[in-house]
Amino acid sequence: MTATVELGRARAVAARRRLRGRRRSGYLLGALCAAICAVMVAPLVMSVLASVKPTEEAAASPPTYLPHALSLDSFERLWTYQQGLPTYLANSLGTALLTIAFTLVLTVPAAYALARFPIPFKEVVFVFLLLALIVPYQALLTPMFLMFARIGLTNTLVGLAILHTVIQLPFSLYILRNSLSAVPLELEEAAITDGASSWQVLLRVCVPSTVPAIVTVALFAFIMSWNEFLGALVLMSRGSSFTLPLILAAARTETSLGGTDWGMLQAGITISIIPCVLVYLLLQRYYVSGLMTGAVK
């Protein structure tokens, strides 16, 4: 009798100890998570804080951690820097929107054809369309630059958007083809029996049932185009056609007489990261699912 009680008590003690141990490791893991969050966010926060320092403080050496006063001077200087921030924002945004448009116009019908129609040599055609996945675009820039120079597409948003579409096409096609293949055939057959043409089926049945995939494709196209650097560096040589990353990279070295205008650079960095982070936080689900299908499946 006593033995059982003892045993029961011992078990209870052990369980309590285990619970306490788990709670302690829970706190430890919580602290670890907090530390990791801090490390990841700190550079971004420091940059945003530096962008609102007054001009003199932004140029201070050694730098201050937190701004002693708040000011939008850096943003004002960026607003009028060279051709002015509105020009660069318009270039970046225009290129990104054109990239989204080109990508969707090309890949939605192509994915539909691959998912539904009896295409001769379908596998070969598919691999051909994924060519940009096999040959890195970094290696194609010289011939593209020469071609674009000949047909007058260098220094144009359309030209840069074409290059960005080349980069984004394989991923988009892959995602859309998978998603269109998964649309139940019965839906389309019902529409066909009602006398719909294939074009109507695509627009009224397939597109509405693949909205998540289309959002994913548009989202990735936007983020890639907004951020892409090397292609823009090669194709855009005129200052007035620079995108945001280009003008900031230029501003890094050539601003004013006293060297780099750090405050203005921070203002530019802040403005560049805001849309990406916002779009990601709003559409996180699409982003993660796109990444899963695109990269590992």
Q: Under rule CB under 8 A, which residues in 270-289 are in contact with other proteins?
A: 272-273, 276-277, 279-281, 284, 287-288
138 binds other proteins (CB under 8 A): yes
Site for other proteins (CB under 8 A): which residue of 2, 5, 61, 68? 61
Stretch in the footprint of other proteins (CB under 8 A) among 2-10, 24-32, 73-81, 93-101: 24-32
Contacts of 30 (CB under 8 A, 6+ apart): none
Q: How far apart are CA 267 and CA 78, in angstroms?
A: 7
Tokens matching residue 85: 């921030």
Site for other proteins (CB under 8 A): which residue of 88, 112, 171, 286? 112
Compute the radius of gyration of the chain from its Cα atoms.
Answer: 27
136/208 with CB nearer other proteins: 136
Site for other proteins (CB under 8 A): which residue of 119, 124, 190, 211? 119
69/120 with CB nearer other proteins: 120
Nearest distance from C-beta of residue 2 to other proteins, angstroms: 29
Nearest distance from C-beta of residue 80 to other proteins, angstroms: 20
What angle, 0 to 180 degrees and rounded to 10, lies between the N-to-C axes of helices 284-296 and 262-282? 90
Residues 161-190 that bind other proteins (CB under 8 A): 162-163, 165-166, 169, 173
201 binds other proteins (CB under 8 A): yes
Total interface residues for other proteins by CB under 8 A? 95
Stretch in the footprint of other proteins (CB under 8 A) among 8-16, 72-80, 203-211, 269-277: 269-277
72/147 with CB nearer other proteins: 147
Nearest distance from C-beta of residue 261 to other proteins, angstroms: 11
Q: How far apart are CA 244 and CA 229, in angstroms?
A: 9
124 binds other proteins (CB under 8 A): no
30/86 with CB nearer other proteins: 30
6/285 with CB nearer other proteins: 285
248 binds other proteins (CB under 8 A): yes
Stretch in the footprint of other proteins (CB under 8 A) among 12-20, 27-35, 70-78, 206-214: 27-35
Tokens matching residue 229: 């650097």
131 binds other proteins (CB under 8 A): yes
